Structure 1
Amino acid sequence: MATFKPTLKMASNAKRGLKLRDKFDRGGTEVGVRRARQLADRHELSEADVKSMHSYFARHTVDKQGKAHEWGSNSDPSAGYIAWLLWGGDDGKEWADRNAASLDK
């Protein structure tokens, strides 16, 4: 079974998400926090993890359109933005999409 190593950029985004979640007390679920810790520590991910990440991003792209707080803000980030970072941010989405596509072949 193949395993997949998160990139440094994904790890950095996950760490940022964890810091913002601690500071603002919003964003992400316990599942998202566990994923962020995996990414931050650059643990090898399974095929199921890749598919889970791909599915998360497909469902949550709409969160970028939220009006409460700000997407991309360090001073008033939206809960959706914090959660997005926990899953590796835009870099995580691109990585998950690419790897999920290779699994489908």
Structure 2
Amino acid sequence: MSDQGPDRIPPAEVAENADKGLKLRAQYRRGGTMAGIARARDLKNRKPLSEKTIRKMVSYFHRHKADKRAENFGDDENPSTGYIAWLLWGGDAGQKWAEEHKKAIETARNEGRMRRFKQSEHGRSPDS
């Protein structure tokens, strides 16, 4: 982790899930939106993600957790559209990674604020 927060490159398992989602979508011609496809490509290629994108991932998983109860969720032979979409966003590994990163980003931001507050409390400017 750097001063700017955690490393924002998705781990291999997240990339693999996104790749699997892209393959299932191509095979079954269903699941996911254009946003999900774009997200899957970024995840598959392990591009560093912005804070905004990580927040979008957390929001996606929160909104779509009910999809996991659908028939054929997790079935690679006849996948539900929700399962394909879930994989496009990195699957369970993507959900865990995004939530952990959102928390780490917020912690890093709050620690930076506390440092600046303590410096100003002692009569120093935040830039010194």
Per the normalisation by structure 2, the TM-score is 0.77
Structure number with larger C-alpha Rg: 2
| Displacement of 1:96 | 0.6
Q: Which aligned pairs between 1:49-64 and structure 2 lie closer than 5 A?
A: 49-64=53-68
Q: Which residue matches 2:97?
A: 95
Per the normalisation by structure 1, the TM-score is 0.93
Q: Distance in 2 between matches of 1:50 and 1:22?
A: 25
Q: Which has the higher contact order (CA 8 A, sep 6+)?
A: 1
Identity %: 46
Q: Which residue matches 2:18?
A: 14
| Displacement of 1:104 | 2.8
Alignment partner for residue 38 of structure 2, among 34, 54, 61?
34
Q: Distance in 2 between matches of 1:45 and 1:86?
A: 15
| Displacement of 1:66 | 1.7
* Residue segments in structure 2 that go unaligned for 5+ positions in a row: 108-128
* 4+ aligned runs moved over 4 Å, structure 1: none
Q: Distance in 2 between matches of 1:44 and 1:51?
A: 14
Tell me the number of residue pairs that the alignment of Structure 1 and Structure 2 aligns.
103
* Residue segments in structure 1 that go unaligned for 5+ positions in a row: none
Q: Distance in 2 between matches of 1:103 and 1:59?
A: 21
